[in-house]
Amino acid sequence: MKPNWASVLHGIDAQFCVYILAEMIHLIDDGVISGKIAKKLLPQIVETGQSSIEIVKRYDLTRITSREEIKELVEEVFSKNEKAVHDALKDDNAINYLVGQLMKLSSGRVDPLIANKVIREGLKEVVFSAANSILTS
């Protein structure tokens, strides 16, 4: 159920509302959080009175930008979804499923465009590795 933002913000000082929104927009513009995460923040800010920055730090909601960390997550997705990896090697549309699994695993903290790119790179490595093992057998 979607929250009724008017009722959530009812009774809160207008200047505080402007400050909350400005701070969240700044975090989104800087790439620290996604819009999806910002939607989750607003109720927590209202409930706790903490700033979005404090909540983002406390719950580790920042975007994952390290390629190495993303690659590790992709490897985990590949190992848990071998059939989907096989399907993605034959059909580009199946990559979307793997992207979705990566987003789920990361709680939406990876940029979907970066996720797609790293998954495609991972699929190329799978093909290269399979070809290499055939050649060395």
DSSP label at residue 60: T
Can you read off the two tokens belonging to residue 67? 């390629």
pLDDT for 128 beyond 60: yes
pLDDT of residue 45: 83
Q: What does the alpha-carbon distance between residue 37 and residue 34 come to, in Å, rounded to a whole number?
A: 5
pLDDT for 42 beyond 90: no
Mean pLDDT of 29-56: 86
Domain extent listing, the chain: 5-58, 67-136
Query: How confident is the model over 46-77, as pLDDT tens digits?
Result: 788 888 889 998 888 888 988 999 999 999 99
Give yes or no for a contact between 126 and 89, defined as CB atoms under 8 angstroms apart: yes
Give yes or no for a contact between 75 and 123, defined as CB atoms under 8 angstroms apart: no
CB atoms within 10 A of CB 36: 12
Instruction: Please tell me the CATH code under which domain 67-136 is placed.
Output: 1.10.10.410
Query: How confident is the model over 89-127, as pLDDT tens digits?
Result: 999 999 999 999 999 999 889 988 899 999 999 999 988
pLDDT of residue 83: 95
pLDDT of residue 51: 86
The better pLDDT of the pair 84, 4 is held by 84
Q: How confident is the model at residue 4 (pLDDT cuts 50, 70, 90)?
A: low
